[in-house]
Chain A
Amino acid sequence: MLDLIWSAMMIISIICAGITGKIDLLSNAVLEGAEESIKIVIATLGVMTFWSGIMRIAEDSGLTNAIVKFLTPILKFIFPDYINEKKIIHPICMNIVANLLGLGNAATPFGLCAMKEMQKYNNSRDTATNGMITLLVINTACLQLIPTFLAALRKNYNSSNPFEILPALWLSSLTALTVGIALVKILGTRKQKSKTKSNALCKNF
């Protein structure tokens, strides 16, 4: 996918610049773009380093685990199929906490672990369960408290307050999350109704 997008971007710009007579500007852009990207890396490297350090402190001190405990009851509501499955609820929690704290890279392994555990309870091996879809929607809604990289980029262009957009950002993420979870609940009951009777996974506990 990216192969196509990337090559298309450059091929289109070369053709377009040829037609509109902006080929000088375009050849300059090649140099500028490459230079620009390193400037961005340098501008964000400091914050990313600092924040990763701070987040490691939270992890090592057990604060992350404390937040996980706090979130568990809420998650049991969102994932009713796995109420008694610690092995599923825990990685989901860690996934959400890592996302909240803006540690996207740390979140993925937990998310994949939860997927693997949920797959063990899946009757039809190649079809997604409601729980899996919910986890995906939570991850794609991207709820995060402090988007460090974003703030660093804003600062790079001299924003007077790089964090001023946070409340708007939280509201927007929450909207996506609420809509997503509501849709999953509605579509999920409709399509899995016939299956849940045979798939009474945790009801026996």
Chain B
Amino acid sequence: MNIGSWAVPSVIFLILSFSLLKKTDIFESFVGGAEKGIATTVSIIPSLVALITAVTMLKASGALEILTNFISPLTNFLKFPAELVPLAVLKPISGSASIAVFDNILKSHGPDSEIGRIASVIVGSTETTLYTIAIYFGSVGIKNIRHTATVALVADAFALVASVVTVRIIFGCP
């Protein structure tokens, strides 16, 4: 039993009972929203194909392994799994690229391994930071973003550390 297992059923329960009380058209709403969900998923296909293919190539060529080996003295010192470095680097820049790398990690290590769990927490607790900053400030023509990028990236770094620490505490050290 895990608190995480309660999250989805509780949210569904809450939403359905609230809507029943309010007497809104539940099924009609569902169908409308679901249709949009399909459209969104389909719209990410091109970038997903592009990036997953590139990551698969990177893996097959041995380049990912070379990078991991190269960086492992530093990550060993920090007790951060070297396999997760490409994910940590790409996540602030591109959503599809990090999904591609994440998918590769799940495939090679399994979702229930320590690396798989930490990778999941990293993906779920960090955002495509630099991309978001560009979109938000670009929309209103702000050029001097002051300390935004620094703060956001420092917060991301804390999320990385917290991902490793929380997974090791909750699921036990290897």
Contacts and interface: CB of A to CB of B under 8 A. Distances in A.
B174 interface: no
Contact of A60 (B24, B41, B54, B159): B24
Interface in B72-112: 90, 93-94, 97, 99-100, 102-103, 106-107, 110-112
Contacts, number: 358
Contacts of A111: 136
18 contacts: A5-B90, A6-B54, A13-B58, A13-B60, A37-B100, A52-B37, A61-B22, A108-B135, A115-B139, A136-B152, A156-B106, A158-B110, A162-B111, A165-B120, A166-B3, A168-B167, A172-B122, A175-B162
Contacts of A6: 50-51, 54, 97
A180 B117 CA distance: 24
Given A135-B136, A154-B111, A175-B158, A142 B54 contact: no
B81 to A, nearest CB: 15
B153 to A, nearest CB: 9
B69 interface: no
Nearest to B38: A49
Q: Give 9 nearest A-B pairs by CB, closest first.
A: A56-B33, A52-B37, A33-B56, A166-B4, A33-B53, A53-B34, A29-B60, A180-B155, A13-B61
A166 B170 CA distance: 11
B173 interface: no
A2 B166 contact: no
B109 to A, nearest CB: 9
Nearest to B26: A57
Interface in A93-125: 101, 105, 108, 111-112, 115-116, 118-119, 124-125
A58 B22 CA distance: 11
A191 interface: yes
Given A142-B124, A163-B4, A45 B57 contact: no
Contact of B159 (A13, A56, A176): A176
Contacts of A127: 142-144, 146
Interface in A130-161: 132-133, 135-137, 139-142, 144-147, 149-150, 153-154, 156-161
A49 B154 contact: no
Interface of B: 2-5, 7-8, 11-12, 14-16, 18-19, 22, 24-26, 29-34, 36-38, 40-42, 44-45, 48-63, 66, 90, 93-94, 97, 99-100, 102-103, 106-107, 110-112, 116-117, 120-127, 129-130, 132-133, 135-137, 139-148, 151-152, 154-156, 158-159, 162-163, 166-167, 170-171
Contacts of B62: 16-17, 20, 22
A72 interface: no
Q: Which of A33, A55, A60 has most B Cβ within 10 Å?
A: A33
B124 A169 contact: yes
B146 A191 contact: yes
Given A54-B30, A191-B147, A116 B139 contact: yes
Given A133-B147, A135-B136, A163-B7, A168 B170 contact: yes
A59 B22 CA distance: 12
Contacts of A142: 124-127
A127 B107 CA distance: 44
B4 A161 contact: yes
Contacts of A32: 56, 60
A179 B158 contact: yes
